[in-house]
Amino acid sequence: MGYNYFVLDVETCPIELDGYFELSEEDKFKKLNSMDSRIVAVGIKNGEDTYIYKNMDEKEMLERFWHTFEELYNSSQNVYPTGFNIKGFDMPFLVNRSFINDVKIYPIKTCNVVELREKLNFLKYGALRGKLKEYAKLMGLETLGDGSQVAELVRDGAWDKLEKYLVNDLVITDAIAKRCIKLDIFELEKYYPLKQ
């Protein structure tokens, strides 16, 4: 069965960077929530097309993202927003930061959002094994660091490097989605069927 999908990924950074780099790794991780951190870049990959929003006011970035999201989602009857930890991280960040910035979202049902990490763990409850970079390594794909470097890139104004990192994550996620479709893992369901 063929699927229409687009992958998305969000990069975030603490709102307040003063003193952040001196924190322990555990305390840095605690700041990685949508109340203490903001979206600094968001990307969507739809086939050969890639949309990157970065280095702009967060409200404007969110408005542009949701406009693109709505256009892609409504481009045909069966389109699935897809990501790696999308339900646990990306979508909650996008919705809450949209609320904080007074940005209208495009409402969708969670059963139509494809969570690749969850599917790869057979919809298991509790902690899930496997990070995006681990799957990339298993598939022989190039990785460009990890999310812990995003705050440094923002601090240093290295927006081109941040975009390259984000695009690489989108490529990895897209490759995982393609393999999941090929192996019928994409079709695993918890409660509701994917929209047809």
For residue range 19-50, list pLDDT tens digits in order.
Answer: 999 999 888 888 889 999 999 999 999 999 99
Within-domain flag for 193: no
What does the angle CA 120 – CA 96 – CA 24 come to, to the nearest 5 degrees? 75
Q: Is the dihedral of CA 43, 100, 102, 40 positive or negative?
A: negative
Specify if 113 maps to a domain.
yes
CATH assignment at residue 27:
3.30.420.10
Burial class (CB in 10 A: 0-12, 13-18, 19+), 30: exposed
Any domain includes 195 = no
pTM of the entire structure? 0.92
Is the predicted pLDDT of residue 97 greater than 60, yes or no? yes
pLDDT at 125: 67
| Residue among 100, 127, 130 at smallest CA distance from 116 | 130
194 within some domain: no
| Domain extent at residue 154 | 4-187
pLDDT score of 122: 87
Total residues found in the chain within this entry = 196
85-101 average pLDDT score: 96
Structural domain count of the chain: 1
- Residue 37 lies inside a defined structural domain of this protein: yes
